[in-house]
Amino acid sequence: MRATFSRAPISVVRMANCLVVQHVAPESAWAIGDSLTRSGVDIDTRRIFAGDILPVDTSEYDGLVVMGGPMSATSDEGFPTRLAELALIADGLASGLPTLGVCLGAQLVAVAAGSDVHVGDKGPEIGWAPVDLSPACRSDMLFGGLPHKLTVLHWHGDTFDLPPDAQLLMSSDVYPNQAFRIGETAWGVQFHLEVTREAVAGFIDTFVDDAASVPGGAEGLRNGTPAALAALHSPRDLVLDRFAHLVAAHVHAGRRVRSRRHFANISEP
């Protein structure tokens, strides 16, 4: 009599993946990408400046990162993907997707959550300068345990109002809204925590007029960068590794039930 054998079912383990929206060449994910890679997360970078197409929603992703850029979060001029990006962010917010917006990305998160972005009344904030951490950071999943003050790279002219129900996390002497959290898993940071020495050099070489406008000019920025990065290195990696771990964990938890909370209707211009 011939023996029969049954095959054990084959289980496919899906790697966590993260969508990164990159608007301009010098503003890539930098240290965010390094942290995601260390956590075993696949990175799907859509380079808007190169004509990459955005997905219609975030259903196939475990994390969303939206990077910076010189365009306005409130205008489609020179920014044809703005509404599509706002739709992606709103989709991620509604589902509890780990989300991180950087500079322009933070402003887009604010708009998607129902807030306003406008030109800063104190002019551009550019260069290495401190931000103060609020007491709310103590219990925050990304920023808990950090020093009360961090010196970070600022590079923006617009600012935003705090979205409804958002938790303010950081402020500066120039603009009070520097970092915030929506719900438990979405953050916006107005400054550039992700930068490396190569990243800062790219900013200086690309945004020449901006760099020239700060005290000491481009050379002053270059000279101040090594010491600033050395001080920022440990808190930067701690924060970004924590975010990457949230993305990696999301693949095991599966997508959460969509929140009943209403986010901005961005289908209209």
Q: Is 154 a catalytic residue?
A: no
Considering the candidates 103, 137, 245, 250, report the single residue annotated as catalytic.
103
Going by the DSSP 8-state scheme, the letter that residue 48 receives in this structure is G
Residue 91: C-alpha distances to residues 106, 128, 208, 217, 259 (Å): 15, 33, 36, 41, 10
Which residue is listed with tokens 């550039």? 192
* DSSP conformation letters of 166-193: PEEEEE-SS-S--EEEETTTEEEESSBT
Considering the candidates 23, 154, 156, 192, report the single residue annotated as catalytic.
192
Q: Is 18 a catalytic residue?
A: no
> Is 30 strand, coil or helix?
coil
In single-letter form, the type of residue at position 29 comes to A
* Spatial CA neighbour of 105 closest among 78, 142, 65, 141: 65
Considering the candidates 18, 194, 245, 250, report the single residue annotated as catalytic.
194
Asked if 141 and 147 touch (Cβ cutoff 8 Å), the reply is no
Contacts of 203 by beta carbon, 8 Å cutoff, 6+ apart: 26, 27, 153, 155, 192, 195, 210, 211
Q: Is 103 a catalytic residue?
A: yes
Count of beta carbons in the 10 Å neighbourhood of residue 193? 23
Largest CA distance in the chain: 89
Pairing of strands 179-182, 186-189: antiparallel
Which amino acids are annotated catalytic? Answer: 103, 192, 194
